[in-house]
Amino acid sequence: MAYSCYITFPTTFFAIRAESLLKNEPYTFKMVPVPRSISSSCGTALRCECDDISFVRAFLLDNGLELEAYYRLEEIGLRVPTVEELRFDE
């Protein structure tokens, strides 16, 4: 299964900060436009390994970032991705 996980941000400012903070961390990630299957907005999302998302989330929150939502997408070729919104216990 081709799963990717995404973190969205309330403003581009937090996306920019997330990228600079994660540069020196051992996580595989890429900043991308929010996938169309998640939203019609034109914001930026952070795509990472689903195994890492809880660690990435904790790291960013620990560094004072505001995060908006979390998603897991199954993306296979040109098929419409299946989207699952992830919930984390505070």
Binding site for another protein (CB under 8 A): 10-17, 19, 30-33, 35-36, 40-42, 44, 61-66, 75, 77-81
Task: Work out how close the CB of 51 gets to another protein at its nearest, in angstroms, rounded to a whole number.
Answer: 22
Please say which residue, 43 or 52, places its beta carbon nearer to another protein. Answer: 43
Structure tokens at 67: 């995060």
Shortest CB 53 distance to another protein, Å = 18
State phi, psi for 73 to the nearest 5 degrees: -115, 135
For the record, the structure tokens of 87 come out as 């919930």
Residue 66 to residue 61: CA distance in whole angstroms: 7
